[in-house]
């Protein structure tokens, strides 16, 4: 309890939290424990450390992920690349970290600072750090 208490974590200056997620939608909601309605893992202390770091003086919370993943196409059986930055989370996905609790998102294409931003700013910043081949599609779905 003590180690994962956001208030205790927040008492430490310069606290940094680094977590990952399975997918993140264009508003910043993170699904870190399920793929749609299928449970994949537990959340561990993700929300606790993310919130604790943001409560900390000069603290920051990072969500780090690859912009894409390789999955098996259910219809063809072929492997295909998908974006992990998506317009909407898959139906039934558990929101492990709400958009209000996401500070910085990092992919191999850059960093999106989301803390204190509007929905439209979030959308644009997350598209900027998505894989280039998915940016146009994400932009069209965001409209």
Residue numbers of the domain that contains 124 = 6-142
Domain tally for the chain? 1
Residue 91 lies in a domain: yes
**3 state SS of 85:** strand
CATH number at residue 48: 3.40.1080.20
Q: Tens place of pLDDT for every residue, the chain, 143 residues? A: 678 999 999 999 999 999 999 999 999 999 999 999 889 998 789 999 999 999 999 999 999 999 999 999 999 999 999 999 999 999 999 999 999 999 999 999 999 999 999 999 999 999 999 999 999 999 999 98
Using alpha carbons, select from 34, 20, 95, 24 the residue that is nearest to residue 65.
20
Residue 70 lies in a domain: yes
Q: Cβ(20)–Cβ(64) under 8 Å?
A: yes
SS3 content of the chain, % helix, strand, coil (to 5): 25, 25, 45
Q: Rounded to two decimals, what is the model's pTM?
A: 0.93
> Residue 115 to residues 50, 80, 93, 100: CA-CA distances in angstroms?
12, 32, 23, 8
Residue 50 lies in a domain: yes
Neighbours of 49 (CB within 10 A): 21
Neighbours of 121 (CB within 10 A): 13
88-97 pLDDT, tens digit each: 999 999 999 9
Residue 1 lies in a domain: no
């Amino acid at each position: 309890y003590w180690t994962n208490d956001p208030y205790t974590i927040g008492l430490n200056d310069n606290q940094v939290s680094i977590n990952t997620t399975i997918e993140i939608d264009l508003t910043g909601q993170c699904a870190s424990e399920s793929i749609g309605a299928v449970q994949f893992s537990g959340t561990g202390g993700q929300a606790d450390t993310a919130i604790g770091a943001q409560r900390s003086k000069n603290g920051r919370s990072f969500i780090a992920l690859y912009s894409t993943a390789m999955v098996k196409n259910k219809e063809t059986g072929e492997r295909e690349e998908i974006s992990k930055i998506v317009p909407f989370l898959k139906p039934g996905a558990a929101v492990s970290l709400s958009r209000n609790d996401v500070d910085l998102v990092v992919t191999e294409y850059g960093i999106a600072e989301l803390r204190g931003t509007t929905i439209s700013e979030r959308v644009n910043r997350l598209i900027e750090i998505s894989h280039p081949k998915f940016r146009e599609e994400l932009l069209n779905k965001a409209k």
